[in-house]
A and B are shown apart, each in its own frame.
Chain A
């Protein structure tokens, strides 16, 4: 059985797994962005939080992904078997690149521009929302792009805790020692990652100022 014949034979199943996969990623990314971008804005205003926030996010990133999924299972409310746990793990993974880029983007704005903004009588909040944020947008998006690509990859492991997605084929293929089955999960996942990278890269360039 070639990968191609397996693919054709299971195309509807693969299609649905891809949709499941994408849903996991989109939900996790939305939550991660909603946490990391405001957190980055907070950290820029209160520098002493910087080491703590970035450190914590880095720790999540260092935990091997399979272990992180495992750790979360026994935790009440967010844990258990299934999608919810997987999304929590994916969010924790995606936080660091977004948080770091948000911080770097917001704090990397040309000091002459910030000085002018302050001297013109803009408040700290006005400077953040009207100057720093628009100028940091492309850098923040670069972080989102990195996080999305990582999340698409890591989400294949979600199948291990019963959250579905393209990982189903990969785990099944490993168990069956069947490359065709592994590829039926791996190729669509890789294509998703490439596609997301291209689209977000285009958006990033469009948002770039200067």
Chain B
């Protein structure tokens, strides 16, 4: 067992991503001490067709503080994406309630709720028939901002995610690389400056080099923007790099919740299973 060995930690952290690892440790220095709660799950169950036996997530209670980056970590099918979709009412809890900014999602208008929450998914989900500028401008357009304001915002956002507006605005998603598309996906989610950002394995489909690049830039961006972020991943290194806290899901249950450093020391079989992925002897981190 290696989850409590500090030297071991240093060992792989350098293998994985030296600067990135330091970054996450800095974030740990100010753990989720912010008192304001942005999102709260209260005794949430979600099962399909009202069959409790087919539960996707069970008995989830969880508070997400304003400004923190909560990573939902878990294997495929552990219920992470379900949890994410319960926040913007793409799904409605079978039991219990989800509160966003103090209001139960079931009492909110789903359209209004979603326009106030940025959403980024794997492969970006950009509209192929829209230009990059139109994609980024989606929510401002739906919100009927005037065109000058939209144009200025699009330019600002493309710069923010490291794309030259002059070069990219008029292109279509198919003319971009996977990494560039994912940048546009982030820009689109940020367009109307939502206080909350939901991200479902946003970097999952990228090659390792591009992924590391985007993770690094994204964690820097996050610190500047001070958004509440819920980030779904099955990659523990990504979770350690980006999360201010990590929530581990296993078979629909929340089995662990801790800041990255403490997370590594937790004694739970599923935590061990994920930590084992970090072992350099597995060749994963080399």
Chain A 110-129 against B: per-residue CB contact (8 Å), 1 yes, 0 no?
10110111111111001000
Could you tell me if A117 and B90 are in contact, using CB atoms closer than 8 angstroms? no
Which residues of chain A have C-beta atoms less than 8 A from B114's C-beta?
A: 118-121
The complex places the Cα of A122 from the Cα of B115 at a distance, in Å, of 8
The complex places the Cα of A110 from the Cα of B122 at a distance, in Å, of 13
Q: Is the interface of B mostly helix, strand, loop or mixed?
A: mixed
The complex places the Cα of A119 from the Cα of B139 at a distance, in Å, of 10
Chain B CB within 10 A, most for which of A115, A117, A121, A126: A121
Could you tell me if B125 and A126 are in contact, using CB atoms closer than 8 angstroms? no
Identify which of A110, A113, A121 contacts B142 (C-beta below 8 A).
A121
Given contacts A113-B128, A135-B128, A209-B129, are A121 and B123 in contact (CB under 8 A)?
A: no
Which residues of chain A have C-beta atoms less than 8 A from B232's C-beta?
A: none
Could you tell me if A209 and B90 are in contact, using CB atoms closer than 8 angstroms? no
A201 to chain B, nearest CB (A): 20
B271 to chain A, nearest CB (A): 30
Which residues of chain A have C-beta atoms less than 8 A from B142's C-beta?
A: 120-122, 126
Q: Which B residues lie at the A interface, using CB under 8 A?
A: 88, 90, 110-115, 117, 119, 121-129, 138-139, 142, 174, 188, 198
Which residues of chain B have C-beta atoms less than 8 A from A112's C-beta?
A: 121-125
B102 to chain A, nearest CB (A): 19
Could you tell me if A120 and B174 are in contact, using CB atoms closer than 8 angstroms? no
The complex places the Cα of A122 from the Cα of B113 at a distance, in Å, of 11
Could you tell me if B122 and A119 are in contact, using CB atoms closer than 8 angstroms? no
Smallest Cβ-Cβ distance to B188: which chain A residue: A120
Which residues of chain A have C-beta atoms less than 8 A from B121's C-beta?
A: 112, 115-116, 119
9 contacts between A and B (CB under 8 A): A110-B125, A112-B125, A113-B128, A116-B121, A117-B127, A119-B90, A122-B111, A123-B111, A131-B127
Which residues of chain A have C-beta atoms less than 8 A from B115's C-beta?
A: 120-121
A205 to chain B, nearest CB (A): 15
Q: Which A residues lie at the B interface, using CB under 8 A?
A: 110, 112-113, 115-123, 126, 131, 134-135, 209-210
B6 to chain A, nearest CB (A): 40
Given contacts A121-B111, A121-B139, A126-B142, are A116 and B126 in contact (CB under 8 A)?
A: yes
Smallest Cβ-Cβ distance to B191: which chain A residue: A120
Identify which of A110, A118, A123 contacts B90 (C-beta below 8 A).
A118
Identify which of B125, B128, B139, B188 contacts A115 (C-beta below 8 A).
B125
B242 to chain A, nearest CB (A): 20
A43 to chain B, nearest CB (A): 22
The complex places the Cα of A118 from the Cα of B115 at a distance, in Å, of 10
B101 to chain A, nearest CB (A): 15
Could you tell me if B128 and A120 are in contact, using CB atoms closer than 8 angstroms? no
B145 to chain A, nearest CB (A): 14
Could you tell me if B125 and A113 are in contact, using CB atoms closer than 8 angstroms? yes
Smallest Cβ-Cβ distance to A111: which chain B residue: B125
A176 to chain B, nearest CB (A): 54
Identify which of B90, B129, B138 contacts A134 (C-beta below 8 A).
B129
A114 to chain B, nearest CB (A): 8
Which residues of chain A have C-beta atoms less than 8 A from B122's C-beta?
A: 112
B226 to chain A, nearest CB (A): 22
A134 to chain B, nearest CB (A): 5
The complex places the Cα of A202 from the Cα of B222 at a distance, in Å, of 47
Smallest Cβ-Cβ distance to B185: which chain A residue: A116
Given contacts A116-B119, A119-B88, A119-B119, 15 further A-B contacts (CB under 8 A): A110-B125, A112-B122, A113-B127, A115-B125, A118-B114, A119-B117, A119-B198, A120-B119, A120-B139, A121-B115, A121-B139, A122-B111, A122-B142, A123-B111, A209-B129
